[in-house]
Amino acid sequence: MIIGEDKFLVVVMVISVIFIGLAVYFVLIDRKLSRIEKKQAEIFCQQKRSQDLDIRSQDKYKVNREIDISIQKKDQGSQDGL
């Protein structure tokens, strides 16, 4: 089955080593990309959360402000009535 010439075996070994090196390189790149993707996803999640918090705090501020204004108006109305 195997050709008896040593040259073939040497060629096979050299190509195998090159290919294994290439395969390891690809696996490492793939893993590195996965890590970066995970980090990016976390950063996006944090950014979104902080944006949501900002919007919520802005909404709370608006509501509080409206309550303050309505109380002030009520107070003014009662003073005018007196």
Partner 1 sequence: MIKGWLWKISGLLLVFYSIIAGLLIHVPELPVVHQTIRNLFFHVPMWFAMFFMFGTSLVYSIRYLGSMKLKDDLVASQSVSTGLLFGVLGLLTGMIWAKFTWGDFWTNDPQLTGASVSVIAYVAYLILREAIDENALRAKISAVYNIFAFMLLAIFLGILPRLADSSLHPGKGESPSPMGDLDPMMSLVFFPAAIGWILFAYWVLDIRKRKRIIEMQHQL
Footprint of partner 1 (CB under 8 A): 1-3, 8, 11-12, 15-16, 19-20, 23, 26-27, 29-30, 33, 36-37, 40
Minimum separation from the CB atom of position 47 to partner 1 (A): 11
How large is the greatest C-alpha to C-alpha distance in the chain, in angstroms? Answer: 116
Q: What does the alpha-carbon distance between residue 20 and residue 67 come to, in Å, rounded to a whole number? A: 70
Tell me how far CA of residue 7 lies from CA of 4, 19, 40, in angstroms: 9, 18, 49
Q: How far is the CB of 48 from partner 1 (least distance, A)?
A: 14
- State in angstroms the smallest separation of the CB of 2 from partner 1: 5
